[in-house]
């Protein structure tokens, strides 16, 4: 009898490009790994991207950045930077994900030498996910605190207030006959935030975290539970949740906007926000700030876009989606500015101080200034609840993306073992990140949060994005990349995209990186300066994500057979 033909000769041959990552490794005999899954509805992908990009930064960073950097004039560098390094990199990331259908680690089959870039991304995203969920926990805390007839930060005279506390209701009742000196007093909302919510007086600094605040700890547990339940089934479940979390903030934003603009004094705040000061455009700082705002606001480099696109069908029109999401994100930021500054204008009129004394950025705006403004409105608990509910929905869908990125990246590396157990693997990651975030719930937790916020996604993220840009255009090859896009979308990217990918985007990012290093300022929180060891720890966080790249190269070279020279 002739010997039977070996089975592997009868198998159809798949061209190299289309081989899925899982069929290259894993034993030949074992069955195919479970399917990755796809988005189930038409709008799932688009809404997930909008939900991911439109986050807390649009509300609390952009308006303040605009007002400090030339008001209306800031929109000029903002849109130029959007065109140079926002849209092109956004489109690049979506194309990489959709063409490969792989997560941010496995996608580096395009150049195995640079797999470390993927590892750097995962490290950055994990650090950001830890503290981003703590911010959501603060929002939940305030959300529950708003469910009363009288907001707890409305008056002085609670156990957490000090003698410096000054209630604006008292100022108004006094008819301003006596000029009140506000400069060395503290608002009740400021003391509620720092002395009650954070209980920061229990900690002397970052090296002395103090006790865990159990109410914050429970809020953090709740926020991780919500996130877990929403990403339980991967994009099949989170793709449905975003129908609510990506659209509802717009409804609330419009309500807050209408309420804000109808207040007296609102015009004062809006003037402040939009009066163009064109002399600012001559300073490099304004252009850098614009680029930074675009960079963080669109979430490029975090792997979220790549992950979402990897669940698309092969011919999804990501070109159109790129413009919808990036421009929608910019418009949302500008709208949020109106909603914030109209209320700040009203507040400055009530307190009789100029707008620039009440304007703040970051958590100070969300947890001190805006809640204080809410107490001045009729029906204050209702408006306060709406505002924090908006922040909750804004924050959650960005957090889904971070988690989806981590889970997808690792499951695509080990599809045989992890894909069938994706739900339990997600649970393990959520629990691990919750435990790491426990230090943020202590009395000195805010110092750690500031440290993570300043360093986790600073220069490390830029190095990752610059490297990605250079590897795709130089190593993988611009021709190849354009051919891939042509295969998916039916047309090649025009000269604008090619010019940005080859030169403009990497050059702008390099400028950003250099500026960040040259203008380096130590972290601070209020009047507290961080000790040197904390600074070093922060810088190490950033450097570690950069070091992943050379480490990945070493591993890749060691895994290959043959001598180093070969």
Phi-psi region of 30 (alpha: psi -120 to 50; beta: other; left: phi over 0): beta
Residue 280 belongs to domain spanning:
42-558
The CA angle 371-374-379, to the nearest 5 degrees, is 135
Tokens 């896009």 locate to 485
Q: Residues annotated as binding site?
A: 51, 54, 58, 297, 329, 394, 397-398
Is the pLDDT at 204 greater than 50, yes or no? yes
Q: Where does the pLDDT of residue 181 fall: very low under 50, low under 70, confident under 90, or very high at 90 and above?
A: low
87 occurs within a structural domain: yes
How many domains is the chain partitioned into structurally?
1
The answer to whether residue 11 is domain-embedded is: no
In a domain, 524, yes or no: yes
Q: Would you state the structure tokens that stand for residue 74, as one six-digit string?
A: 């800031």
**Residue-level pLDDT at 12:** 41
* pLDDT confidence of residue 282: 87
- State yes or no: pLDDT of 6 exceeds 70: no
Residue 14 has pLDDT above 50, yes or no: no
> pTM of the full predicted structure?
0.89
Say if residues 415 and 33 touch (Cβ distance below 8 Å).
yes
User: 443 vs 170, which has greater pLDDT?
Assistant: 443
Phi, psi of 511 (to 5 degrees): -60, -45
Question: Would residue 1 count as lying in a domain?
Answer: no
Virtual torsion, Cα 553, 554, 559, 565, nearest 10 deg: 90
Quick check: is 19 in a domain?
no
Residue 26's pLDDT band (cuts 50, 70, 90): very low
Report if residue 410 sits inside a domain. yes
Packing angle of the helix pair 459-470, 532-559 (nearest 10 deg): 30
In a domain, 536, yes or no: yes
For residue 221, give every residue at least 6 positions away whose Cβ sits within 8 Å of its Cβ, in sequence order, or none: 434
- CATH code of the domain containing 554: 1.20.1740
Average pLDDT over residues 228-243: 91
When pLDDT is cut at 50, 70 and 90, the band that residue 283 belongs to is confident
pLDDT tier at 458 (50, 70, 90 boundaries)? Answer: confident
pLDDT for residue 35: 83
- Give dist(CA 421, CA 418) in Å, integer: 5
- The annotation places the binding site for Na(+) at 51, 54, 58, 297, 329, 394, 397-398
Cα angle at 54 between 53 and 59, to 5 degrees? 135
pLDDT mean over 527-543: 92
Strand partners, 165: 186
Which of 67-71, 261-265, 311-315, 468-472 shows the lowest mean pLDDT across its residues? 67-71
What separation in angstroms does the CA of 179 have from each of 163, 357, 402? 19, 17, 50
Residue 15 inside a domain? The answer is no
């Amino acid at each position: 009898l002739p010997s039977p033909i070996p089975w592997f000769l009868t198998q159809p041959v798949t061209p190299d490009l289309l081989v899925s990552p899982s069929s290259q490794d894993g034993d030949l005999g074992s069955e195919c790994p479970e399917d990755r899954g796809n988005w189930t509805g038409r709008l799932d992908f688009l809404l997930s991207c909008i939900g991911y990009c439109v986050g807390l930064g649009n509300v609390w960073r952009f308006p303040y950045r605009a007002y400090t950097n030339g008001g209306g004039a800031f929109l000029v560098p903002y849109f130029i930077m959007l065109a140079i390094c926002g849209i092109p990199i956004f489109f690049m990331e979506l194309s990489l994900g959709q063409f490969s259908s792989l997560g941010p680690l496995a996608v580096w089959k395009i150049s195995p030498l640079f797999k470390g870039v993927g590892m750097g991304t995962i490290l950055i995203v994990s650090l950001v996910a830890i503290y981003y969920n703590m911010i959501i926990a603060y929002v939940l805390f305030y959300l529950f605190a708003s469910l009363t007839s009288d907001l707890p930060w409305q008056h002085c005279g609670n156990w957490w207030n000090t003698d410096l506390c000054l209630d604006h209701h008292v100022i108004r009742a006094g008819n301003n006959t006596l000029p009140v000196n506000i400069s060395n007093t503290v608002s009740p909302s400021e003391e509620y935030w720092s002395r009650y919510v954070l209980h920061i007086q229990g900690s002397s600094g970052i090296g002395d975290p103090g006790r865990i605040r159990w109410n914050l700890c429970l809020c953090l547990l709740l926020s991780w539970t919500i996130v877990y339940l929403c990403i339980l089934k991967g994009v099949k479940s989170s793709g449905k949740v975003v129908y609510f979390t990506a659209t509802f903030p717009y409804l609330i934003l419009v309500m807050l906007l209408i309420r804000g603009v109808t207040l007296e004094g609102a015009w004062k705040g809006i003037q402040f926000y939009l009066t163009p000061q064109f002399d600012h455009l001559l300073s490099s700082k304004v252009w850098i700030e614009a680029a930074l705002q675009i960079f963080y606001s669109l979430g490029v480099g975090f792997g979220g876009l790549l992950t979402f696109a990897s669940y698309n069908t092969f011919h999804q029109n990501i070109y159109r989606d790129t413009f919808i999401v990036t421009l929608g994100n910019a418009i949302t930021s500008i709208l949020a500015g109106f909603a914030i500054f109209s209320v700040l204008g009203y507040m400055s009129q009530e307190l009789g101080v100029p707008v620039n004394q009440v304007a703040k950025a970051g958590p100070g705006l969300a947890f001190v200034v805006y809640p204080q403004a809410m107490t001045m409105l009729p029906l204050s608990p209702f408006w306060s609840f709406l505002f924090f509910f908006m922040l909750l929905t804004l924050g959650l869908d960005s957090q889904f993306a971070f988690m989806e990125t981590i889970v997808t990246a690792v499951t695509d590396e080990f599809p045989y073992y992890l894909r069938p157990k994706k739900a339990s693997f997600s649970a393990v990651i959520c629990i691990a990140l919750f435990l790491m975030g426990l230090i943020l719930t202590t009395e000195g937790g805010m110092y750690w949060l500031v440290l993570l916020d300043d360093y986790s996604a600073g220069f490390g993220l830029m190095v990752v994005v610059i490297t990605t840009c250079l590897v795709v255009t130089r190593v993988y090859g611009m021709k190849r990349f354009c051919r891939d896009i042509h295969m998916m979308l039916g047309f090649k990217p025009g000269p604008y995209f090619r010019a940005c990918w080859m030169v403009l985007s990497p050059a702008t990012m390099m400028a950003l990186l250099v500026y960040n290093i040259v203008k380096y300022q130590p972290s601070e929180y209020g009047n507290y300066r961080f000790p040197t060891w904390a600074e070093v720890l922060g810088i190490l966080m950033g450097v570690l994500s950069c070091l992943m790249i050379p480490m990945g190269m070493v591993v890749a070279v060691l895994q290959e057979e043959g001598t180093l020279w070969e």
